[in-house]
Amino acid sequence: MRERPDIANPFAAAKVVGARIDPEVYRRQEPGVERGDPRFVMGRGELMTFAQCPSRWVKGYQSKDTDSTDWGSLMDCRILDPDQFEAKYVVAPATYLADGRKKGDPQVEKPWNRNATFCKEWEEAHKDKTIIKATEKGESDAALTFLGSDRQICELLEVSEKQVMVVAEYGDKDTGLVVPVKILIDLVPAFASRYGKLLFDLKTSFTADPARWPRVVFEHGYHVQAAMYLDVWTSATGEDRVEFGHIVQENFFPFEPSKMAMSQDFLAMGREAYLGALRKYCQCLADNEWPGYPPAHLCINGWNYAQPEAWMITK
């Protein structure tokens, strides 16, 4: 294990809220607090979306859920908070009984069709839950089985608190502003365990190949998440947590898993990125100015020029 870098922790007033915090609860803001309000509590996802384009963020941009994010939420629930599965999800029947073609004909069994009146009424009656297909439930069962075949992953899950929420404050030297932040850590192993120097996150992905994973980390900002989570956690607890790991599982059959730990180089890059984003956020709050996308490398009279990248030219 590496030693923690000799840098000042940028967070203060940090405290652990609790474990097994529902993601919906984590995402809530105080009533009446909107983006652009200094009281808005910034999570890593909000911070990275802001950094991409402050103007878009403050206007209310939200990324759309996709099949992959829906699958990730399902697996998070089944692995991290399985007791809540039946409260949050309901499995749609594979078939339904439809009237025969003629009056008096016996009912016939048909494949589930969300356009059919019976199916629409059934789904309306279960709208308080996320409806999944029986095939999705079966696939998640298989994914759990394959994940459970890895003894180290099972051990890590056994010794870890799950979905641990921590809040803190970031004080900006340039503007004098103090803004609240929050994190939700998937897995916090017992400090006395052999994983006690690490925090972990669970990721479903199109690839669990260790050779390809660094690119996924960079493109999705997982190194930013890792550095911010470590710094907030150590500020709240004083524990010497110096590394961050991922349980990665592919989101298609046979749901191959892998175990990844992040290098100190990646963590240093992530720390620089989240600190830069927080400084930029505080400056936007202070000035009440929210710029759009930064200009391209070549910009003339306000018009951005699209130029081919080097790899395009070689094609």
pTM: 0.91
- In a domain, residue 274? The reply is yes
Are residues 73 and 98 both part of a single domain? no
Are residues 151 and 61 both part of a single domain? yes
Q: How far is CA 167 from CA 145, 185, 235, 246, in A?
A: 34, 11, 10, 22
Are residues 187 and 262 both part of a single domain? yes
Neighbour count for residue 270 (Cβ, 10 Å): 26
**Which pLDDT value is given to residue 199?**
98
Are residues 124 and 187 both part of a single domain? no
**Which pLDDT value is given to residue 120?**
93
Q: Which residues neighbour 239 within 8 Å (Cβ) at sequence distance 6 or greater?
A: 191, 196, 233
Are residues 41 and 127 both part of a single domain? no
- In a domain, residue 1? The reply is no
Are residues 253 and 117 both part of a single domain? no
- In a domain, residue 245? The reply is yes
CA distance 74 to 90: 11
- In a domain, residue 302? The reply is no
- In a domain, residue 307? The reply is no
**Which pLDDT value is given to residue 4?**
57
Q: What is the CATH number of the domain that holds 36?
A: 3.90.320.10
155 forms bridges with which residues in the sheet?
none
Are residues 184 and 244 both part of a single domain? yes
Kindly give the confidence (pLDDT) of every residue in the chain, 315 residues in length, as a single tens digit, with 9 standing for 90 and above: 455 566 789 999 999 999 999 999 999 999 999 999 999 999 999 999 999 999 999 999 998 888 889 999 999 999 999 999 999 999 999 999 988 777 778 889 999 998 999 999 999 999 999 999 999 999 999 999 999 999 999 999 999 999 999 999 999 999 999 999 999 999 999 999 999 999 999 999 999 999 999 999 999 999 999 999 999 999 999 999 999 999 999 999 999 999 999 999 999 999 999 999 999 999 999 999 999 998 888 888 889 999 888 889 887
**Which pLDDT value is given to residue 6?**
61
CA distance 162 to 200: 10
Are residues 173 and 226 both part of a single domain? yes
- In a domain, residue 297? The reply is no
**Which pLDDT value is given to residue 1?**
47
Among residues 206, 251, 236, 222, the alpha carbon closest in space to that of 75 is found at 251
CA distance 16 to 168: 9
- In a domain, residue 295? The reply is no
Number of structural domains, the chain? 2
Range of the domain at 97: 93-132
Q: Where are the alpha helices (DSSP H) in the chain?
A: 23-27, 44-52, 54-58, 67-80, 85-88, 117-125, 134-148, 151-159, 213-220, 222-237, 264-287, 310-314
